[in-house]
Amino acid sequence: MSKSTVIGFGKLGKALSYRLLSLNRLSQIVSRHIFNTADIENFKGKVQIEKNLDEIKELSNSIFICKADTEIEKISKELETLFPNELKGKIIVHCSGIYSDDILSNLKSQGAYTASAHPLQTFYNYHPAIFESIFWVVQSNFFNIVRPILEEIGGKAIQVEFNQNERNCYHASAVVSSNYLNSLLYIAKEMISKTGLAPAILLPLIQQTLQNNFKLCDDTSHFPISGPIPRKDFATIEKHLSALEEQAELKEIYSYFLLITAKVAKQRNLLNQEEFEQFYNIFKQHTNTKFQNNS
């Protein structure tokens, strides 16, 4: 694997920089942000660190763009302007989940091997093994060239040919798996904290729930739910809603997921139409939110 440049030092850029440094594959970091972090001391004297692209003396063989989605096109144009005679044969990868490799088409036309390679992982906390066992979702005409670089970093590269709608759905699924799962866990911790119990008491329940889902993860009909909805214990749900009466924000969020879960339970034939209507009548009585019964 050739030496690499990382453009951007957010959570992903930081993780990628540390991983490439450990592999002795990091040549330079381009970031203003890194100068405001303690991390810079770990890279000084080992790699070139610059605030701007125009301060780079020579392009590395491979370049990872780890900037915000809105900045990728700007970076791509800047690379073309600054290095018009050095792009041929360079491997240039952006790591956004929402854009295909088309956003780098100007660099491709200059002879660069371009790719969209999204690491399907959350990089909130970096640790040395964070790239192990992940998947890189790659859209590129140069998959066989890009793949070895990605897999040396860690994980497995998967080639896709998404249209934009498929790509949007893919990225939304990643957001649900990470961000929205975080939101649910946050709400659970908020609720249990009202009882005086420590949120950590929920960990075995959360871990077992995840394991139940992992068991048949590729089966989209698999919905390993237990609790009051599949038991048709609507009086218990009524008590939940009443208990949250003084917590308007928590009640609203709980209500959203309550209705979503009931609708999925109906789709999976865990509730019939009559049972769903019974649930929905109780739901309407205890919520002020403007949900519709679209079942």
- Shared-domain flag, residues 21 and 112: yes
Note the pLDDT of residue 1: 58
Closest Cα partner for 31 from 45, 13, 57, 47?
Answer: 13
- Shared-domain flag, residues 26 and 95: yes
**46 or 215, higher pLDDT:** 46
Q: Does residue 234 fall inside a structural domain? A: yes
Buried b (16+ CB within 10 A) or exposed e, 120-132: bbbbeeeeeebbe
pLDDT band at 295 (very low <50, low <70, confident <90, very high): low
Note the pLDDT of residue 291: 54
Note the pLDDT of residue 290: 55
CA distance 107 to 75: 11
- Shared-domain flag, residues 194 and 145: no
Q: Does residue 176 fall inside a structural domain? A: no
Note the pLDDT of residue 134: 97
Residue 258 pLDDT greater than 60, yes or no: yes
Beta bridge partners of 94: 65, 116
SS3 percent helix, strand, coil of the chain, rounded to 5, is 50, 10, 40
CA distance 21 to 27: 8
Residue 216 pLDDT greater than 90, yes or no: no
CB-based contact 194:247 (threshold 8 Å): yes
CA distance 67 to 71: 6
Between vectors from CA 42 to CA 40 and to CA 47, what angle results, nearest 5°? 80
Domain boundary among 146, 161, 176: 161
- Shared-domain flag, residues 146 and 22: yes
Mean pLDDT, residues 84-109? 97
- The percentage of residues in the chain with a pLDDT greater than 90, rounded to a whole number, is 84
- Structural domain of 11: 4-161
Mean pLDDT, residues 19-35? 97
- Shared-domain flag, residues 152 and 196: no
Residue 246 pLDDT greater than 90, yes or no: no
- Shared-domain flag, residues 114 and 252: no
| Total-model pTM | 0.88
Residue 44 pLDDT greater than 60, yes or no: yes
- Shared-domain flag, residues 19 and 156: yes
User: Hey, which bits of the chain come out as E strands?
Assistant: 4-7, 26-30, 48-50, 62-65, 91-94, 113-119, 135-139, 156-159
Q: Does residue 179 fall inside a structural domain? A: no
- Shared-domain flag, residues 193 and 117: no
| CATH code of the domain containing 90 | 3.40.50.720
Mean pLDDT, residues 80-88? 96
* Residue whose structure tokens are 């203003």: 32
Q: Does residue 258 fall inside a structural domain? A: yes
pLDDT 10s digits, 122-134: 999 999 999 999 9
**126-130, 221-225, 250-254 — most confident range:** 126-130
**Mean pLDDT computed over every residue of the chain:** 93
Note the pLDDT of residue 87: 97
Mean pLDDT, residues 10-23? 97
Q: Does residue 259 fall inside a structural domain? A: yes
pLDDT band at 292 (very low <50, low <70, confident <90, very high): low
- Shared-domain flag, residues 152 and 257: no
Q: Does residue 293 fall inside a structural domain? A: no
Closest Cα partner for 210 from 224, 195, 192?
Answer: 224
Mean pLDDT, residues 256-271? 92
CA distance 202 to 66: 35
- Shared-domain flag, residues 90 and 147: yes
Q: Does residue 242 fall inside a structural domain? A: yes
- Shared-domain flag, residues 21 and 153: yes
Note the pLDDT of residue 33: 96
Based on the structure, what is the number of domains in the chain?
2
pLDDT band at 22 (very low <50, low <70, confident <90, very high): very high
Q: Does residue 215 fall inside a structural domain? A: yes
**223 or 141, higher pLDDT:** 141
Structure tokens at 226: 């237990």
Residue 157 pLDDT greater than 80, yes or no: yes
Residue 294 pLDDT greater than 70, yes or no: no
- Shared-domain flag, residues 69 and 118: yes
